[in-house]
Amino acid sequence: MRIDAAIEKLKDWFIGGALPLWAAACADSSGGFYETLSFDGAGLPGRRRVRVQCRQIHTFTVA
């Protein structure tokens, strides 16, 4: 597979699969973002790092 095709395939997966999954499951009820998801796609409560919160905001802003 050529690198251009691999990049396009990754973009398609990210925009069509990963982002919609995270958009539906990552926000928690207190206004932040879950850091991890379970295998069934539910947000898992746990520690919260500022870096993760900023990364989620940035990712959804530029997507």
Segments making up each domain of the chain, as ranges:
3-62
Residue 49 pairs in a beta bridge with none
pLDDT attached to residue 45:
87
CA atoms within 13 A on the CB side of 23: 12
Q: For residues 43 and 26, is the Cβ–Cβ distance under 8 A?
A: yes
Q: What is the pTM of this model?
A: 0.67
Q: Which residues lie closer than 8 Å to 37 by C-beta, 6 or more apart?
A: 21, 22, 25, 26, 43, 44
Q: What is the pLDDT of residues 6-47, one digit of tens each?
A: 999 999 999 999 999 888 888 888 888 998 889 998 888 888
